[in-house]
Amino acid sequence: MEKKGNILMRKYEMGKVLGQGTFAKVHHARTLKSGSSVAIKIIDKEKIMKVGLIDQIKREISVMRLVKHPNVVQLYEVLASKSKIYFVMEYVRGGELFNKVAKGRLKEDAGRRYFQQLVAAVDFCHSRGVYHRDLKPENLLLDEHGSLKVTDFGLSALIDSKRHDGLLHTTCGTPAYVAPEVINNRGYDGVKADIWSCGVILFVLLAGYLPFHDSNLMEMYRKISRGDFRCPHWFPPEARKLLARILDPHPGSRINITKIMENSWFRKGFKYVESPVMEDLSDSSEAILDAVDSDSESCEEGAGTHYMNAFDLISMSAGFDLSGLFEEEGGGSHGRDHEWFTTREPPEMVVSRLEELASTESFRIRKKDGVVKMQGKKGGRKGQLGIDAEIFEVAPSFHMVEVKKSSGDTLEYVKFCDQELKPSLKDIVWSWEGNHPSP
């Protein structure tokens, strides 16, 4: 057994749950030897292996061992048992930067200080050949001293993942923070994509809201592709100019990190923090990776080899609720007019099954701008029921399908989903996600 009472492997006393997702829980814990606090992410090995993501867990280990920096959450150790994988990480007490921004915009000096720390961390990651690819305030933590810590490298990629054209090709991240070239799916430079996300975060820190906001996901994509945003009147002129160069929709002319760090507005009060000397990982890579694969209990310190790209799929699953990130005035997007499911089947199979369902349930079906649109032929309480389904690639063999009501009555939509849609797709769905479980 991996636990005796609430003691993990005779090293850590387990505490309260800090967060929970589809494949993982994060606990607060205390180190028995020193009494210091840590955070332990517990990953269900069986679930991960079922969806073929064990190699991607190894890749996250590789990434996190590469990026030791004062502004990056540290991975201390990886433990493994027959059924679980444990990431023992730095415990950051101050919570998410998102919670601070949710209360309103920050003062210029505070926003700049966090932005400086973010850029320093990202610059270091890039120097190690690591691209985060999901930078957003929810993935930026604050310690008890108010210092920023980048976390959640589950979507990060190593430089090895570039194709022969020198670009990354996996579409991922959170839409409001994703660079236009990532959305356009023509390949992208991970460095430039991370820089764009840093620019969106800077805007949010100083404004208190997103630069590219629209309740319609496709319309938001169009705004991002055009770089269509406006700075509020309280932004200082220097910050406006810097943001215009960061949120340039053309990656070739987008400002690089060196130029950002030379910018006069950025440099005000900037303190460069030395990162620790990195240890040589070359001779210690196999032990922990073998432990993750092993059926026996293991207690090795973590290190990893270079793998292509890394996804810790849905350690906190809300991060993949792609269109539920934006709430309209007077209501939220987490009602029954919006749900999503994950599947291991290819998009063609999902579309085919939706077409079959449409033909038997009196729906017209068409495909537009990457969305499968189902329009009811019969009139309902609020007109014809319309349903949109959009498919997102999370990993090469793992997809997320967003299903939402585009028109008609919500109760009719709920009835259709529960009685027709879910039963007809149950053999291709890995799991349904949302506030309401499927019957």
Domain ranges within the chain, ordered by starting residue? 3-92+288-293, 97-267, 334-433
Spatial separation of the C-alpha atoms in residues 301 and 287, rounded to whole Å = 8
Residues 176-231: tens digit of each pLDDT? 888 888 877 667 788 999 999 999 999 999 999 999 987 787 888 889 999 999 99
**Is CATH 3.40.50.2300 the classification given to domain 97-267?**
no
Set 44, 109, 123, 134: catalytic member: 134
Residues 91-118: tens digit of each pLDDT? 998 888 888 888 899 999 999 999 999 9
pLDDT range class, residue 408, cuts 50, 70, 90? confident
Q: Give Cα separations from 400 to 114, 229, 317, 320 (angstroms).
A: 32, 28, 11, 8
Token reading at 320: 């993949």
pLDDT range class, residue 358, cuts 50, 70, 90? confident
Percent of the chain with pLDDT over 90: 28
Mean pLDDT across the chain:
77
The third-level CATH classification (topology) of the domain covering 334-433 is: TATA-Binding Protein (3.30.310)
pLDDT range class, residue 371, cuts 50, 70, 90? confident
Tell me whether residue 3 is annotated as binding.
Answer: no
May I ask the CATH architecture of the domain 3-92+288-293? 2-Layer Sandwich (3.30)
Question: What does 8-65 look like in DSSP terms, one character per residue?
Answer: ETTTEEEEEEEEE-SSEEEEEEEETTT--EEEEEEEEHHHHHHTT-HHHHHHHHHHHH
| DSSP-assigned beta bridge partners for residue 389 | 372, 403
Residues 46-71: tens digit of each pLDDT? 887 877 777 777 777 777 777 889 99
312 is annotated as an active-site residue: no
The answer to whether the predicted template modeling score (pTM) of the entire model surpasses 0.85 is: no
pLDDT at 233: 95
Residue with tokens 């200080």: 113
Same fold, 3-92+288-293 and 334-433: no
